[in-house]
Structure 1
C-alpha cells in the first residue's frame, strides 16, 4: 500500500468522512501519541539509568526513538485509513477529516528521515539496530499485522530497544542476551494485550493477525504468560542471588497474571485482563530499566 495518496480501495466502499477542517491537533492525534510517549519515556529511563553518554548523547538516543515512534504511528493510521473509514471510526482523525491523508503520509516520511539521521548520529551499529527495529514496525503496519507473524515485529523491536541504548554508549557494548530476550517477550506480550479491545473490529475488517486467529480468551492467556515469562527471565538472568526487588516484581506479576487468566473463564469482558496484563508489563519495564543499568 502506498502511503502518499488516497487509493480507490481507501474510500470506494467506505463510509463518508466528516468535512471537519484539518488541524495540527488532528495530525498529532494520528501519530498514536500515547504509545509513542510510553516507548519514548521507557527509552529515556533506560538512557538515564545507564548514563555514560552525556546530555547530547542521551538526547540523540531519545530523539531518535521519538522520531521513530512518530513515524510508526502516522504510518499505521495512514495504512489503516480504508478500514477505519469503512468501520466509521470516529476516533480517527483521517476519518473525521481532522487530518489529511497526504499530510499524515508526509509526516510519517519526514519523521522516518529524522529517525534515520538521529539514529546514525548514535553510531553505525547502534543506528543500524534502531533503524531495523523501526523498519520491523513499518513492516507490521503495512503487511504483517494481517498474518500469523504479527507478533514478530513487536518481539524484534522491543528486543532491540535496550541494544540500541547500550550500543550508543562509548565502546558500543551489547546488552546481555537474557536482557534482550526479556524485552522481546515483553513486547510480544504487549502485542497480544494491545489488540484485545479491538479483536472483533479487526476480524470484521480483514485483520487476521495471530491474536485474532487465536481469539480473545486464548490471546488473554498468551499475553499474560508471555509477560510472566519476561519476569522470570529478568529474575534468573542476572548473575548472583535474586534481589528483593526481583522477588517483589515476580510476586506482583504472578498475582496479576492469575487475575488475567482467571477472569476470562467467567466473563468475556476483557477490560480487567487487559489492565492486569498491562500492569505486569509496566512492572517488567521498570525492572528492565534497573537491570539494564546494572548490566552495562
Structure 2
C-alpha cells in the first residue's frame, strides 16, 4: 500500500512539474518578445507622439488610433532589428538580447515584426489616406535602417525621415490643420540627435561585427557632440519659429546650451557619463518645447 501511495505522489508531482513548465514557457515567450522590441525607444516614441496628438487637438478616438498606429510601427521596427541582428548579437555575446540568449527564436521575432507591420497599415489609415501614407513612409524608413542603411554613412537619414514625418502624421489627421515648417524640422533634428545618442552604447560591438554607420565614423566623442548639437538645434528652431511663450522661447534653448556645456566639461574625466546624461536632458527639453508649441 505504501508503495502505491509513493508512486501516486510521484506521478502527481511529475504532472504538476510538467504543468508548471508549460506555464513558464507560455509566459517566457511573450516576455522575451517584449524585451526584443527595444522597449525603451518604442515606449518613448509612442508616448511622445501620443502626447503630441493630445496637445495638437486630436479627439479621443484620434489619439487612440495615433497611439496604436505608432506603437505597431515601432514594434515592427524593433522586432525586425533584433531578428536581423541575431547573428551579430550572438557573435559578440549579447546576453541582454533575447534572440542571442536563446530566449526566443529568430523566426518568432520575425513573425512578430511582420504581424505588427500588417496591423500598422489599417491603424495608420484610420487617421486619413494622406496621414496613413505619411506614417507608413515613416515606418518604412525605420525598416530601411534595419535592412542595411544602419551600416552606411547614410544611417542618420532614416531617423531624419521618420521623426520628421511622425508629427506631420498627427496633424494630417486633423481636417484643415496646417503643418508649420518648424514642426517636421524640429522632429527631424530630434530624431537625428537620438540616433547619435542611441548608438553610443553599442559602438564597440557594432564595430566588431562590421557595422559602420555615421556615428561609428564620428567615434564616441564626435557622436556625443553631434547628438548634443542636433538636439540643441531642435530647441533653437522651436524657440525662434514656434508660437511659444517668450520666456520659454529663449530660456529653454539657453538652459539646454548650459547643460550641454557643463556635461561635456565634466565628461573630460575618464569614464564619465556626464555628456550622455546632458544629451538626454537636452532631448527632454526639446520634446517639452515640441509639445508646448503644438498645443
Q: Same fold (TM over 0.5)?
A: yes
Task: Output the CA distance in 1 between the equivalents of 2:119 and 2:288.
Answer: 28
Residue number in structure 1 paired with 2:5: none
Q: Note the C-alpha offset of 1:88.
A: 0.8
Q: Note the C-alpha offset of 1:267.
A: 3.3
- Please say if residues 182 and 231 of structure 1, whose CA atoms lie closer than 8 Å, have aligned partners that are also in contact: yes
Residue number in structure 2 paired with 1:248: 251
Choose from 78, 81, 89 the match for 2:83. Answer: 78
- Please say if residues 149 and 155 of structure 2, whose CA atoms lie closer than 8 Å, have aligned partners that are also in contact: yes
Task: Output the CA distance in 1 between the equivalents of 2:222 and 2:270.
Answer: 11
- Please say if residues 175 and 292 of structure 1, whose CA atoms lie closer than 8 Å, have aligned partners that are also in contact: no
- Please say if residues 236 and 242 of structure 1, whose CA atoms lie closer than 8 Å, have aligned partners that are also in contact: no
- Please say if residues 178 and 233 of structure 1, whose CA atoms lie closer than 8 Å, have aligned partners that are also in contact: yes
Q: Note the C-alpha offset of 1:148.
A: 0.3
Residue number in structure 1 paired with 2:229: 225
Q: Note the C-alpha offset of 1:270.
A: 5.6
Higher fraction of helix: 2
Residue number in structure 1 paired with 2:290: 288
Give the 4+ runs in structure 1 shifted more than 4 A: none
- Please say if residues 163 and 174 of structure 1, whose CA atoms lie closer than 8 Å, have aligned partners that are also in contact: no
> For 2:294, what is the secondary structure of its paired residue?
helix
Q: Note the C-alpha offset of 1:242.
A: 5.8
Task: Output the CA distance in 2 between the equivalents of 1:270 and 1:73.
Answer: 29
Taking CA–CA contacts closer than 8 Å with sequence separation of 6 or more, which of the two structures ends up with the larger relative contact order?
1
CA-based RMSD: 1.6
Residue number in structure 1 paired with 2:123: 118
Residue number in structure 2 paired with 1:16: none
Task: Output the CA distance in 2 between the equivalents of 1:148 and 1:107.
Answer: 29
Residue number in structure 1 paired with 2:59: 54
- Structure 1 segments unaligned to the other structure (5+ residues): 1-19
Residue number in structure 2 paired with 1:17: none
Q: Note the C-alpha offset of 1:36.
A: 0.6
Choose from 237, 260, 265 the match for 1:262. Answer: 265
- Please say if residues 73 and 120 of structure 2, whose CA atoms lie closer than 8 Å, have aligned partners that are also in contact: yes
Instruction: Say yes or no: does 1:162 pair with 2:157.
Output: no
Q: Note the C-alpha offset of 1:250.
A: 1.5
> For 1:215, what is the secondary structure of its paired residue?
helix
Task: Output the CA distance in 2 between the equivalents of 1:269 and 1:130.
Answer: 40
For normalisation by structure 2, the TM-score amounts to 0.87
> For 1:207, what is the secondary structure of its paired residue?
coil
For normalisation by structure 1, the TM-score amounts to 0.87
Which of the two has higher C-alpha Rg?
2
Q: Note the C-alpha offset of 1:263.
A: 3.9
Choose from 257, 260, 281 the match for 1:279. Answer: 281
Residue number in structure 1 paired with 2:139: 134
Q: Note the C-alpha offset of 1:153.
A: 0.6
